[in-house]
């Protein structure tokens, strides 16, 4: 393959399914090279097998856990060994609350697992990728959530982890100023049921009530977020932005809701 002159390299956590896969495919279509780092090995191999020959040469999958520093360090080095550089880091990997009860019954281990993956994973990948991002004047995009700003009952660990990403984003933006830009996206309801591996995939079915909760009239898609990620990674489009968190939720969090 003749290398495309605009090839840049993105490292995407949680890149084999859901929102991360949507981001990975969008960047691949835009001529990026992509490392998908994901703990679901089956999903990763499914994605790689489905790519055409040319695209497969620009994509790498490595299985691992973002909360395991050894896994992260190896994945970053594999990216450098294969592609020689990292221009963009997309910290997307995350898990939901494993516990659905009240805070007084929340196990410490359950709390810590969510914090370690959702927030700790952002720290670890940033720690190991930053030296390479400095060389390319690269950018980091952290995926947080509107749950950083509003909550449902019994979601303390998830809300805390996503709020922590917002704070970590502006802290890193200051620490890495002049070398690496760091921004975040807070998605709202993004439908990913049809972006799972085959054994978990299902077709979305949204009611009119689901759609009407959003001023734009629909539920979000991975492409909605992927386009914003592409914008934030591109210094020609967002070179004067760092430390920011962009809320992308179809206007849902701006709509007043009254209990009946």
Please identify every residue annotated as catalytic.
158
Q: How far apart (Å, rounded) are the C-alpha atoms in residues 158 and 95? A: 8
Orientation of helix 69-83 relative to helix 121-136, angle to 10°: 30
**Residue 65 and residue 40 in contact, taking contact as beta carbons nearer than 8 Å:** no
Q: How far apart (Å, rounded) are the C-alpha atoms in residues 87 and 12? A: 11
Alpha-carbon torsion, ordered 156, 158, 162, 165, to 10 deg: 100
**Residue 249 and residue 189 in contact, taking contact as beta carbons nearer than 8 Å:** yes
**Residue 78 and residue 1 in contact, taking contact as beta carbons nearer than 8 Å:** no
Q: How far apart (Å, rounded) are the C-alpha atoms in residues 39 and 63? A: 5
**Residue 122 and residue 166 in contact, taking contact as beta carbons nearer than 8 Å:** no
**Residue 214 and residue 146 in contact, taking contact as beta carbons nearer than 8 Å:** no
């Amino acid at each position: 393959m003749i290398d495309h002159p605009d090839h840049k390299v993105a490292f995407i956590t949680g890149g084999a399914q859901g929102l991360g896969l949507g981001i990975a495919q969008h960047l691949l279509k835009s001529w990026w090279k992509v490392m998908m780092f994901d703990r679901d090995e089956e999903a990763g191999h499914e994605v790689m097998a489905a790519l055409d020959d040319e695209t497969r040469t620009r994509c790498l999958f490595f299985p691992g856990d973002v909360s395991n520093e050894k896994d992260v360090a190896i994945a970053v080095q594999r990216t450098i060994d294969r592609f020689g550089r990292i221009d963009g880091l997309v910290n997307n990997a995350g898990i939901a609350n494993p516990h659905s009860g009240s805070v007084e019954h929340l196990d410490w281990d359950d709390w810590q697992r969510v914090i370690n993956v959702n927030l700790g994973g952002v720290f670890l990948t940033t720690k190991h990728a930053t030296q390479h991002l400095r060389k390319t004047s690269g950018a980091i995009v952290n995926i947080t959530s509107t749950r950083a700003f509003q909550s449902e009952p019994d979601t303390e660990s998830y809300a805390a982890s996503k709020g922590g990403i917002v704070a970590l984003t502006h802290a890193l933006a200051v620490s890495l100023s002049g070398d690496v830009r760091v921004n975040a996206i807070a998605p709202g309801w993004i439908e990913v049921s049809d972006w799972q591996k085959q054994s978990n995939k299902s077709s979305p079915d949204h009611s009119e009530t689901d759609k009407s909760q959003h001023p734009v009239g629909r539920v979000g898609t991975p492409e909605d977020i992927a386009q914003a990620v592409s914008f934030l990674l591109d210094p020609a489009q967002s070179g004067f932005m760092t430390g920011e968190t962009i809320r992308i939720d179809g206007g849902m969090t701006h709509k007043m809701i009254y209990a009946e």
